Amino acid sequence: MQVSRITKYARMFKNVFGSGFLVRTAHVILTWVITLILFLHDTDLRKQEETGELLVPVVFVLLVLVSVLLYFAVSLMDPGFVLSDDCDLQLILGISEEQQDMIPQTKSLRQRRCGHCLLQQPMRSKHCQTCQHCVRRYDHHCPWIENCVGERNHRWFVLYLAVQLIVLLWGLHMAWSGFSHAATWQLWLKANGVLLATAVVAAVLSLTVLLLLGSHLYLVSLNTTTWEFMSRHRISYLKHCGADENPFDRGTLRNLWGFFCMWETVVWEHVYFRQGSEPT
């Protein structure tokens, strides 16, 4: 127990001060610089602050703070690393050897060992070359957060994208409100150059986050992952499936409910076995 706790703290220390330190620092600096620019220029935020109407400015700053905290949460959180061999598959599933033998070979549930960390890989897990760990329900390794997105932090990643999108769109609106008029383009650019650069950065980031959020919500509604969607032809438990067949799909509403509202660990072998056992 003590060794695993030390290992956990060592991994957290590595996450904070490892290769992602510069990425996280740049993200935080960029976030607060943009926020500061919006308050220093003649935007609606500054006007409301000067007139004593503090509700909107305070809510905006709090939302920015929440987005930063969520960023660090998904960035430093254990995404679902596989750190030891799981229990015997029969005990996990509660099925007998006879039942396993009834499953077609194309739908074998036997776990395979990872060729890198030599641990048994639960279904839907994948080894990440960057993190050097197998990750449960692996989605992708995100360079933005310098961490994997997996079973434990995927919902928080989607929530972070949603909050970040609100902040960016709100900031873009505030930047637009701060543009001043001028007699010539040269004078206009001189007066609004910094605010214009801020608006461009916010617009590009807004589009990026919007595309990411939309794609993740779409995949979540299908109960599939980015890795499974992009590489299903190379994944052993999906090779036999048709182009539109997903053994984990339980319907859009149940998929969304399970993703956002169910917190217990899902034994995907069990779901896969039930799907494979249904009569056709």
Q: Which residues are catalytic?
A: 142
Point out which residues pair with 140 in neighbouring strands.
Answer: 149
Radius of gyration of the chain (CA): 24
Cβ atoms 148, 79 nearer than 8 A = yes
Cα–Cα distance list, 87 to 99, 161, 238, 272 (Å): 18, 35, 23, 18
* H/E element, 126: strand 126-128
Contacts of 73 (CB under 8 A, 6+ apart): 153, 156, 160
Token readout for 150 is 């997996």
Other beta carbons within 10 Å of 2: 6
Is 202 exposed, middle or buried (CB count within 10 Å of its CB: 0-12, 13-18, 19+)? buried
| CA dist., res. 206 & res. 249, Å (int) | 30
